[in-house]
Amino acid sequence: MTLAIEDLEGIAKIEKERQEGFRHRINVCIAAGCLSCQSGLVREALEKEVGRRGMENWCLVKGVGCLGLCAAGPLISVEPDGVYYQGVTVSDVSEILDSLGGSPIGRLHCPAQSPFFTRQHRIVTENCGKIDPERIEDYIAERGYEALYTVLRSMTPGEVIEQVVASGMRGRGGAGFPSGLKWTAVSKAVNNTKFVICNADEGDPGAFMDRSVLESDPHRVIEGMAIAAYAVGARHGYVYVRAEYPLAVKRVRTAIAQAERLGVLGSGIFNTRFDFKIEVRLGAGAFVCGEETALIASIEGRLGRPRPRPPFPAEFGLWGCPTLINNVETLANIPPIVRNGGRWLAGIGTEKSKGTKVFALAGRVNNTGLIEVPMGTILRDIVFDIGGGIPEGRQFKAVQTGGPSGGCIPEQHLDMPVDYESLAAVGSIMGSGGMIIMDDASCMVDVAQFFMEFCMSESCGKCVPCRVGTTQIYHLLRKITNGTGKPSDLAMLEELCDLVKNTSLCGLGQTAPNPVISTLRYFRNEYLEHIDDKTCQAGACKIGSVREAL
């Protein structure tokens, strides 16, 4: 089956006409967040009521991906009026249909003009909340697979890589390695068999960007993978996705099947000699599999244990073949880079960090949800403007980025721009994009202990510094939080952190001490309170019983 650009345009035109034929379009968020607040029932009820009233010909009810503001779910948007409703329940369905074409329902209204929506710059998530993730036609109507067509028909692999290099794109998985360099390395590797892997093993607790993108716009990632495969010379790709995200798995599988049926995946795509196939591989709940060599081992059906690099996967990857591994968000950036040119992306963001970044805003903040902002956005604006500040009038304490590999950023650094370098300068990392806000009810020693417990149990056990070091650090923190810590423990903590950081084999161990180091740097007084006064100001640690015993 060969598909021409006219066919794509034809599909887009028919789909656009179909949708525009409806006087009203009601988009119901069916990403995991809203689904867990029963948005599926709302959608069913809307469809049923539309049918009952005989409105099928002029009112479309459509399931869409994440609208972003998970805190206010279930969310729906009504087009073309551009009205958002929040906290919708099945009992609101009649009222919503009554109000179509009239004035919006004040009770449910969610202001679309609030900073949460207006301050975002959506590139990766531009289709989220707009298209039905289970319909390829809807994606094509938003210029989907056009970039793949352009690449296959009018660009050489070298030209594609040039655009990625020009964009200044850096890997969105956490480390921020320049994507163009990675692509170049894989394309230069001499081997007939190469692979492209999409890393969707979003193990970092508190992060849900990849889940949302896969659930809301899976075709975008598939198109990015196909373009990458063409550029580096691969014919086979894998999406390695967490089994804990059943909905994302289902949508990716559906999308792959649709793409194969249409002919944008498979053999001789767009009548060229380019073949590309994608398979899904399920993760099985090991955080360390986010590390690329461990991920490769897991796809090969083995224990997810990292190995020393070099050789890097670019030369020696899956089954010993050159392999390109990119994160979901990185790949989702590729189609717009091709459509608009690398220079376009390079015009967004800061000098060294280009483009936008998707963050999962969670914790003690009013507007929890998914946001996408240009690199270099001021952290304070993210927390207080877009995030809407701290609920219940409590006091901001810290923002945690990068999950178990990152650090806690205190109030005094809130006015810094969010980019790879600035975050590293204050002892944190960009990470994959989890951003957890903490208020004065959180104890920073307890938080450090939480992350260390995570790293301890997620350590794969291969290298001693990580396996033993994380356990020792955890026990020291345990002592401090239960009120039996001694002043000398702090020096020992620092020494251990330094050792684990510098001698571990992979990224997990090398970054595991970060939450401890950063809390010791900014919140040392809290450690001292636990040790000297045996008190926990936040009330999170159970010191009381120990004090009575003393």
The residue ranges that bind another protein (CB under 8 A) are: 32-33, 35-37, 70-71, 73, 202-208, 211, 243-245, 281-287, 298-304, 360-364, 368-370, 400, 403, 434, 436, 438, 442, 447, 450-451, 454, 460
Min dist CB 398 to another protein, Å, is 11
Min dist CB 201 to another protein, Å, is 11
Q: Give 368-430 as a DSSP string.
A: -EEEEEETT-BHHIIIIIIS---GGG--EEEEEESGGGSEEEEGGGTTSB-SHHHHHHTT---
Q: Which lies closer to another protein via its Cβ, residue 177 or residue 319?
A: 319
Min dist CB 469 to another protein, Å, is 20
Q: Which lies closer to another protein via its Cβ, residue 286 or residue 496?
A: 286
Min dist CB 546 to another protein, Å, is 18
Q: Which lies closer to another protein via its Cβ, residue 24 or residue 242?
A: 242
- Contact call for residues 354 and 403 (beta carbons, < 8 A): no
- Contact call for residues 78 and 85 (beta carbons, < 8 A): yes
Min dist CB 267 to another protein, Å, is 19
Q: 168 Cβ partners below 8 Å, 6+ apart? A: 178, 180, 342, 345, 346, 349, 352, 354, 355
Min dist CB 108 to another protein, Å, is 18
- Contact call for residues 110 and 75 (beta carbons, < 8 A): yes
Q: Which lies closer to another protein via its Cβ, residue 178 or residue 205?
A: 205
Q: Which lies closer to another protein via its Cβ, residue 74 or residue 376?
A: 74
Q: How many CA atoms lie within 13 Å of 513's alpha carbon, on the beta-carbon side?
A: 25
CA gap 381, 414 in Å, rounded: 9
In the three-class reduction of DSSP (H, G, I as helix; E, B as strand; rest coil), residue 149 is classed as: helix
Q: Which lies closer to another protein via its Cβ, residue 364 or residue 530?
A: 364
Q: Which lies closer to another protein via its Cβ, residue 206 or residue 355?
A: 206
Triad 241, 27, 132: Cα angle to 5°:
40
Q: Which lies closer to another protein via its Cβ, residue 263 or residue 539?
A: 539
Min dist CB 212 to another protein, Å, is 8
Min dist CB 404 to another protein, Å, is 8
CA gap 100, 81 in Å, rounded: 9
Cis peptide before 157 (omega within 30 of 0): no
Buried b (16+ CB within 10 A) or exposed e, 198-236: bbbbbbbbbbbbbbbbbbbbbbbbbbbbbbbbbbbbbbb
DSSP 505: S
Q: 32 Cβ partners below 8 Å, 6+ apart? A: 208, 211, 212, 215, 245, 247, 248
> E strand or H helix at 61, and its extent?
strand 59-64
Alpha helical stretches, state H, 21-103: 32-35, 39-52, 93-99
Q: Which lies closer to another protein via its Cβ, residue 182 or residue 462?
A: 462
Q: Which lies closer to another protein via its Cβ, residue 87 or residue 266?
A: 87
Min dist CB 165 to another protein, Å, is 32
Min dist CB 479 to another protein, Å, is 18
Q: Which lies closer to another protein via its Cβ, residue 120 or residue 368?
A: 368
Query: By 3-state DSSP, what share of the chain in percent is helix, strand and coil, each rounded to 5?
Result: 50, 15, 35
Min dist CB 340 to another protein, Å, is 30
CA gap 374, 419 in Å, rounded: 9
Min dist CB 450 to another protein, Å, is 6
Min dist CB 451 to another protein, Å, is 8
Q: Which lies closer to another protein via its Cβ, residue 165 or residue 303?
A: 303
The residue type of 166 is A
Alpha helical stretches, state H, 172-217: 179-188, 209-216
Q: Alpha carbon of 446 to those of 61, 182, 475, 479: distances in Å?
A: 46, 38, 12, 11
The residue type of 355 is G
Q: Which lies closer to another protein via its Cβ, residue 202 or residue 217?
A: 202
Q: How many CA atoms lie within 13 Å of 215's alpha carbon, on the beta-carbon side?
A: 26
Torsion of CA 231, 232, 237, 239, to 10 degrees: -80
- What length is written for the chain? 550
Strands (E), 206-305: 236-241, 277-282
Min dist CB 36 to another protein, Å, is 4
Q: Which lies closer to another protein via its Cβ, residue 340 or residue 537?
A: 537
- Contact call for residues 189 and 234 (beta carbons, < 8 A): no
